[in-house]
Structures are given as structure tokens and as C-alpha cells.
Amino acid sequence: MARIVLHEIGMRDGLQIEKRVVPTPEKLAWLAQLIASGVDLIQAGSFVHPDKVPQMADTDALFRDLTKIPAADRPALSGLVLNEKGLDRALACGVEQICMGVSASDTHSRRNTGMGTEEALARIVPMAKRALAAGRPVQVSIQSAFGCGMEGRISEKRVLEIVQTYLDAGLRMVSLADTAGHALPGQVRDLYGAVFGLDSKVQCACHFHDTYGLAMVNTLAALDAGVTYVESAFAGLGGCPFTAATGGNLCTEDFVHFLQRTGRRLDVHLAPIISVASAASAWFGRTLPGTVHRIGPMAPAAPAAR
């Protein structure tokens, strides 16, 4: 059974939609807990214009603080970039994995970036190659891969054409994002199966929003299809501000709890993630979507006998 790689994106995707800005010291306290949990990757922020997303205004400072911690003592650090200037900033402050992507929905792409899908793709590919040349791993994504809140169903053919463009450029770490939360498990298995059919060595990630309550079952379908990288956010925070209806991400502590009850990823510590989720709930003054941080975890499965 392949090892599942946990990519915690709450500090970026989870917070970007929140109007109450979390101060840098509070973010660093939350990040310290996430580091202590033992997840594999943490996405600490995105390199966007601070006037457009004030929550991300301290991203450069966060990375400069985090990279002072020896790499052996923390997870790898990822950051999201949208354009060339953002990539410059990410490279300058030590981001270790660069994330970027395009939307399969032209309508969503224009609302999100001001560019259509083809124009965005023509910019992203050279950026990704530049990041690779700088020695950074690159994950490229396709947003709205399973449907769009404005356009509805997105054709598999369109998604696969974008994947093939990535592969032709030598980009083999690909994330499919269910931005609108429209995916169904059968669709998930079929689309990832088709992606692996293009290149059996591609590394696939999944990113599911829980808009209609299906993030967990869709994630399990992705794992069944051979996906090994899972993106999730503490407390189930998040959502895209540029789609018709927004819902949070797959909840990290709920997913890790599931893995541990089924005997997987027993090396991850749930308590620090639950602590961050509870702190976020207190900070924002409302009940957040996740379940385990509210009612507490069950005991994990005992390790299988050898």
C-alpha cells in the first residue's frame, strides 16, 4: 500500500477567504503546531498582491521565519504563485516547493486571474520550467477539473489536454482540484485513471472541496485510483472566492483520524492539528466545519502484526 503524502494547505487556502486577518505572530504559533504534527508538506501562503488578499500580505515574512528552522526538523514548505512576480518572491524567500496552476473553466479562470485558460497556461508553463531550473520541485494544478460553479460539467477531454501540456513540458507532479465541489467518486476514479493512462509515472495529488459534503469520499476514490498526495486544511477551512458557491476543504484532522483508524499514517500526531483547528474556531468566533476537533478522536488502530 503506497504511503499517503499529507499536504496541509490551511494556512493558504484555508485562510485566504477569511475577512478577519490573522496576525503574523498568531500564524507562526499555528504553524509551529502544524510542524509538530508531522505532516509532510505545509503551504504557508500565496504570493499575491496584498491589496487583493490582505490575509496573505505577510507570506514573505512567514517563509523567512520558517526557513530558519533546519529542514530536518520540519516539513517541506510549499507556496502558491499566480504570476512571474509571485515566482520571483517565492524563490527569493526560500519556498521549497512551488505550486501553480490553471483552471479548466475559462469563466473561473477569468474571474480568478483575469486571463482565459489558454493564456494562463501559456504563462504557467514557462514559469514552472524556470522554477525547475532553479532547483525547486513544482506542482502544477488544474482547478475546476471536475466541474465549475458557472459552467457546470467540465469535459474530461479538456482536463486531459491540459495534463498533456504539462507532461510535454516535463512537469510530472499534477494536482486535480475540485474547486466547486462537484465531483463524484466514479468521476474521480475515471479521471485519475485517464491521467495515469497518459503517463504511469506521473505523481498525482487531489484537492477536494466539501461544498456538497463529498470531499472525504472523493478523496478515498482518488486513493483507490492511485493518487498518493492529498491536500487538506485544518478545521476544513477554505474555499475559492471566485466560484458560485464556496465550501471548505477536506478537513485535515478528520482525514488523518480516518487514516489512523484504518492503520495508516500512525506517525502523524493529531493533537497539534486539533489544537490549531480549535484556535482557529476561537479566533474567527464560529464553529468550523471539521468534526474531530469538536468531539475528539477515537483511538488509532493497532499496528498490524508482522
What is the C-alpha separation between 167 and 155, in angstroms, rounded?
A: 19
Q: Is the pLDDT of residue 245 over 90?
A: no
212-227 residue pLDDT tens = 999 999 999 999 999 9
178-201 residue pLDDT tens = 998 999 999 999 999 999 999 999
% of the chain with per-residue pLDDT over 90: 81
Average confidence (pLDDT) over 283-301: 92
Please give the DSSP secondary-structure letter assigned to residue 233.
B
Prediction pTM value: 0.94
Positions annotated as catalytic residues are: 240
Q: What is the rounded average pLDDT for all residues in the chain?
A: 92
CA separation, residue 241 to residues 113, 124, 152, 180 (Å): 12, 21, 17, 10
What is the C-alpha separation between 2 and 265, in angstroms, rounded?
A: 11
Q: Are 237 and 249 in contact (CB under 8 A)?
A: yes
> What's the residue count for the chain?
306
Per-residue confidence band for 106, with pLDDT thresholds at 50, 70 and 90: confident
C-alpha closest to that of 10 among 234, 212, 267, 286: 234
Helical ranges in the chain per DSSP H: 24-37, 59-66, 84-92, 106-113, 117-133, 156-168, 185-198, 215-224, 252-261, 270-284, 292-295
**Which domains occur in the chain, in start order?**
5-295 (3.20.20.70)
Helix axes 270-284, 24-37, angle to 10 degrees: 160
CB neighbourhood size of 297 (10 A): 18
The secondary element (H helix, E strand) that includes residue 304 is none
Instruction: Please enumerate in sequence order all residues whose Cβ is within 8 A of that of 89, keeping only pairs 6 or more positions apart, or say none.
Output: 47, 59, 60, 81
% of the chain with per-residue pLDDT over 70: 94
